[in-house]
Amino acid sequence: MNPKPRILGIETSCDETAAAVVDGDGRVASSVLSSQDDVHGKYGGVVPELASRRHIETVERIVAAAMQQAGLPWSSLSAVAVTRGPGLAGALLVGVSLGKALAYALKVPLLGVNHLEGHLASAWIDEPDFPRPCIVLVVSGGHTHLFLVESAGVYRLIGRTLDDAAGEAFDKAAKMLSLGYPGGPAIDRMARMGNAAAIRFPRPYRKRSTLDFSFSGIKTALLYYLRDLDRSGKARSVSDIAAGYQEAIVEVLVDKAFEAVRRFHVKALAVVGGVSANTRLRALLTERARAAGVHLSLPRAAYCTDNAVMIAMAGHWLFENGRFNSWDMEADAGWTLPESHGPVERQGPLQGQARRSSSPGPVALSAGRKVHRGRAHA
């Protein structure tokens, strides 16, 4: 087997069309991304049908651009990794179809990547030697999940949100405050001008011993706060509201992440996913990590939100473990992430195609990852 495999990653699970080439030593040869904010912005959320249509229009161009940016021939690819789920069914189908066609034409293995595992792998993009065991908090628009990662591709879910994801709480608040879509960056910007102590929002589960999260209550608290304020006729200070709201979410995330570090006696913590781009979250994590002597990894902004580099990285884990997919692989919108990926007996690239990539014992992660926040209703 090629000692340094080169993998093309493709991501179309939601509203980003992305492709990237990553080498086995972790070198990112290229990364190209086309965001659909212009398509969905006016609806205040992702419209699944429009997302699929835009993916169809752009994905081939994006993949070709990634190969061109890498300056590499198609024949140099060792495998094609594509997000198989979870996500929007129609959107996933576009990437999966192209990924299959490319892998088949190039006679290389097909790797169906779980989007969540992609986010997990993003902790190792800029820091290939980031230590394990470690805690990884995946905090995005569809997920708030704490993992104990033991080795490459071997991890355990130790906590998760019981209702809304943190990114969803940011997006909903931005909508209530008419700050536009996507909401997280808008709240982040507003909060910088506000006083976080002016309005105190609840910190759900902060003091509880569980490593699970709950963010739906904080959203309701904001709704009531705005309703009462409107009734009183007082003016809103949007920046103070944004700062107070953000602080509540950030404190809960930071406390739980460090509680996990303490409980599992590890010395390294990574926080990944779209919300990890939040400036206040990054500042507080950095402060706490320094005080606690914990090795902290935060992806650069481009690798926090959806991208294809992380899909190619997770593809490397699957490749190393011989987890290849067969040509009948289908997109799986509600794909639960198997609790643990371990190595399977190594096989030659193409014989291994018959093996499915998912292992038994899935944990129930949020199946409708993006659909609940994504539909442009209400």
Q: Single out the segment in contact with ligand ADP by CB under 6 A; choices: 50-58, 67-75, 128-136, 164-172.
A: 164-172
324 in contact with ligand ADP (CB under 6 A): no
Closest CA to 271 of 185, 169, 145: 145
Residues 166-185 that bind ligand ADP (CB under 6 A): 167, 170-171, 182-185
Smallest gap from residue 139 Cβ to ligand ADP (A): 8
Q: In whole angstroms, how far apart are CA 24 and each of 8, 78, 128, 344, 356? A: 11, 10, 10, 19, 22
Determine the 3-state secondary structure of 123 from DSSP. Answer: helix
Determine the 3-state secondary structure of 155 from DSSP. Answer: strand
Q: Single out the segment in contact with ligand ADP by CB under 6 A; choices: 62-70, 163-171, 212-220, 310-318.
A: 163-171
Determine the 3-state secondary structure of 324 from DSSP. Answer: coil
CB atoms within 10 A of CB 305: 27
306 in contact with Mg ion (CB under 5 A): yes
Structure tokens at 245: 């709201």
Smallest gap from residue 312 Cβ to ligand ADP (A): 16
Nearer to Mg ion, 303 or 317 (CB): 303
Smallest gap from residue 306 Cβ to Mg ion (A): 4
Q: Which residue has the tokens 């014992």?
A: 361
- Of 31, 36, 78, 140, the one binding Mg ion (CB under 5 A) is 140
CA dihedral 366, 371, 373, 374 (to 10 degrees): 150
Determine the 3-state secondary structure of 370 from DSSP. Answer: coil
Among Mg ion, ligand ADP, none, the one that 171 touches (CB under a kind-dependent 5 to 8 A) is: ligand ADP
CA 182 to centroid of chain Cα atoms: 15
299 in contact with ligand ADP (CB under 6 A): no
Smallest gap from residue 273 Cβ to ligand ADP (A): 5
Nearer to Mg ion, 239 or 297 (CB): 297
CB atoms within 10 A of CB 226: 15
Among ligand ADP, Mg ion, none, the one that 45 touches (CB under a kind-dependent 5 to 8 A) is: none
Q: Single out the segment in contact with ligand ADP by CB under 6 A; choices: 49-57, 103-111, 153-161, 165-173.
A: 165-173
Structure tokens at 196: 């976080």
- Strands 28-35 and 110-114 turn out to be unpaired
The binding site for ligand ADP (CB under 6 A) comprises: 14, 140-143, 167, 170-171, 182-185, 188, 273-275, 277-278, 305-306, 370
Binding site for Mg ion (CB under 5 A): 140, 306
